[in-house]
Structure 1
Amino acid sequence: MNTPSSVRIGALAPLTRPGWAEAGRHLLAGLELAAGEVNDAGGIGGRPLELVVRDTAADPRKAAAAVDELAGMGVAALAGEYHSVVARAAAARADALGLPYLCSSAVLDALTEHPTDWVARLAPAQSRGWRIYADYLRGAGHSRIAVAAQPSVYWASGARILREHLTVIDLDMGTLTPAAVCDELAGNGATALLLLVGHPDPAVPIVKAVRSDPRLSEIMIGAPAGQPELPEWVASLGEDGAAIPFLRYLPERLSPLGARVESALRDRLAETPSFVAFEGYDTVTVLADVLRSRGVDRPRIAEAWPSVAVEGTRGQIRFSRTPGIDVWQWAWPPIQVADRDPAEPGRFRILHTG
């Protein structure tokens, strides 16, 4: 479908390396499923909804260029993106161009440099999610933790949040090998190691090294950014990938809408859908509601954020101004700390909710 009469939404997702392509695939599956349902129900005022997809490959410059291109093509709004640093670049260009952008999955608090009415976000802010994760760690008896971190605004922001609640020992993955990480852990008194690193490398080699080191049999491994959520994790690590707590943005029990969408996503993906796929679905659902009520005029779309009240797969979606966040924010998406069950790594356990 590519006709002048369609209503276009630009869709950003990491679909190739070095982006986390599996997350991008799940995000796109949710976006496409919702767009198909919108069109099955008559589209936007009788006009078909068209997703114009661009691969960001986790590259902020590529994302910014894609926003420029999509704006020139006349898209009514932007949707998507998984990587926070990439979404920040997209949000900056969208703000500068006056293009409404509903960010699906990126959590970095500072998504823009200043308050803007052009950008809204579905994913919870990092400061909220990672605080809940820190609460879980303390409740589980982990007050002194090590973080294996790579250089990144996102990882640095996460480590800063953790330091507000826990004693944090930094392990610089710019200089340490997985074996050296094990040596550091054996002597620094930390009871948990958090992976603030990319997937699959170096996350997978670190997990394998720690799991195989008899000195570290009591060390808990955690991955607050959610790497264990996606099937690629257990495919790479098997049993070693279980019992690694992570953040996921799903309710304890799905609503009838959520259950229906889960089934449709499972068919589309041929695997269990992640929370990222639900975020994609909810993004298009919200934008379609706004487009039906406000039309395709960009300023009118941006003006609609505070009046949104849409039933999504994970609860009713409303946007508000949250202290310290410069975009319109869905303030209360559900947050879980979960892990994969060691007895059955394909099954998730909910450890904590916030």
Structure 2
Amino acid sequence: MNTPPSPSGAEHTGGSPIRLGALVPLTRPGWAEAGRHLLAGLDLAVREVNDAGGIDGRPLELVVRDTAADPERAAAAVDELADLGVAAVVGEYHSVVARAAAARADALGVPFLCSSAVLDALTEEPTEWVARLAPAQSHCWRIYADFLLGAGRRRIAVVTQPSVYWTSGTRVLRDHLAPRGGTVVKLDASLTPEALCDALVDHGATALLLLVGHPEPAVPIVRAVRSDRRLAEILIGAPAGQPEFAEWAAALGQDGAGVPFLRYLPERLGPLGERVGKELRERLGEAPSFVAFEGWDTVAVLAAVLRSHGTDRAAVAASWPRVAVEGTRGPIRFSRTPGIGVWQWVWAPAQVVDRDPAEPDRLRLLHAG
């Protein structure tokens, strides 16, 4: 299993390290850019904890495993990390991968704090071992649906690939839009871009949502739609957040602007968020995405838990309902939410934003949840 060096910062403290297993997509077909931002946030927070003396004098150490968006690989990594004695497992961006990791963590009795995956059904049955920082898909995608309605877009086409994540997202959109006069038609991503454009015209779609992977097939689809004069008025959207990252802008340039997506940041960061954001920008060499903030908040929560409840795995898991931590995006507390089987932060702030067509490097706030 491809394992980067553990960026632990452990050299700043003494005593035996407290290990945290970190699941991160760092290679294809995983969304490696999201993984890089997630790891930057995790690593920064670990180094700050260690610079401040660690946990009762013991350093935190990240033991990083690359999931490469592979659920089986993630499950095997949880097994390995459990054998290595980690106090908890953190991270992961891809929902399907996080679901596999959560199931294995639950089976093994290893606490798992999921940083960034939104699929409602992160576990099949309720569990005490798993908590999550990211909002649930049913919550944040309804916010996106409200944005579409507010923008006057009611005839929605989704181009989608086979995945429980995309299927769940389509259902959320359809269930929310239908009672409000909206319609959702599903188009298969196996269509050629030209055939997809023809289908959009035939259906009279006013918006096309990309429920597909990036860069393929998202990039050629966007290029085809942008170049089709018949579709000059259609809105292209990407609720899963593909345009958040610089890779999108680099691949599509002007064609990638004006594509609304979800991001999990407040309209204005407070002092903690501003400070962490500045540090993350220096590390990444670019503006940090919400995923980087999710990484920092993850370690902040675990550090507080370890200080208060120790490193015993059962004690860590039992602490989820007592968490009260100031995160970069607001106060973090976990609760039980109907329909969600894990301890959930209700809710991280959510926005719909896009890249400004007049200045594609600038993000515009279009709607706040």
TM-score after normalising by structure 1: 0.99
Displacement of 1:324 in angstroms is 0.4
* Matching residue of 1:178: 193
Displacement of 1:285 in angstroms is 0.5
- 1:294 maps to which of 297, 304, 309: 309
Displacement of 1:4 in angstroms is 7.8
Aligned alpha-carbon RMSD (Å): 1.0
**Is residue 2:258 matched to residue 1:247?**
no
- 1:60 maps to which of 56, 66, 71: 71
CA distance in 2 between counterparts of 1:332 and 1:108 reads 14
1:58-78 deviations in Å (ceiling 9; x for gaps): 000000000000000000000
1:21-71 deviations in Å (ceiling 9; x for gaps): 000000000000000000000001100100000000000000000000000
CA distance in 1 between counterparts of 2:321 and 2:169 reads 28
Q: Show structure 2 runs of 5+ residues with no match.
A: 1-9
CA distance in 1 between counterparts of 2:59 and 2:359 reads 43
* Matching residue of 2:184: 168
* Matching residue of 1:106: 117
* Matching residue of 1:9: 20
Displacement of 1:179 in angstroms is 1.4
Letter paired with 1:172:
D
Letter paired with 1:158:
G
Matched residues, number: 353
1:237-267 deviations in Å (ceiling 9; x for gaps): 1111111000000000000000000000000
Displacement of 1:180 in angstroms is 1.2
CA distance in 2 between counterparts of 1:68 and 1:238 reads 42
CA distance in 2 between counterparts of 1:137 and 1:311 reads 32
Identity of aligned residues (%): 75
CA distance in 2 between counterparts of 1:145 and 1:238 reads 25
CA distance in 2 between counterparts of 1:266 and 1:228 reads 18
Answer whether contact 2:259 2:355 (CA < 8 A) is retained: yes
- 1:133 maps to which of 134, 141, 144: 144
* Matching residue of 2:82: 71
CA distance in 2 between counterparts of 1:4 and 1:55 reads 27
Letter paired with 2:161:
Q
Displacement of 1:178 in angstroms is 1.3
* Matching residue of 1:330: 345
TM-score after normalising by structure 2: 0.95
Letter paired with 2:22:
A
CA distance in 2 between counterparts of 1:177 and 1:94 reads 40
CA distance in 2 between counterparts of 1:223 and 1:350 reads 15
**Is residue 2:107 matched to residue 1:96?**
yes
Letter paired with 2:368:
T
* Matching residue of 1:44: 55
- 1:311 maps to which of 314, 326, 330: 326
* Matching residue of 1:276: 291
SS in 2 for 1:348: strand
* Matching residue of 1:142: 153
Answer whether contact 2:15 2:58 (CA < 8 A) is retained: no
**Is residue 2:55 matched to residue 1:20?**
no
* Matching residue of 2:233: 218
SS in 1 for 2:157: strand
Deviant stretches of 4+, over 3 Å: 1-4
Displacement of 1:187 in angstroms is 1.5
Letter paired with 1:70:
L
Q: Show structure 1 runs of 5+ residues with no match.
A: none
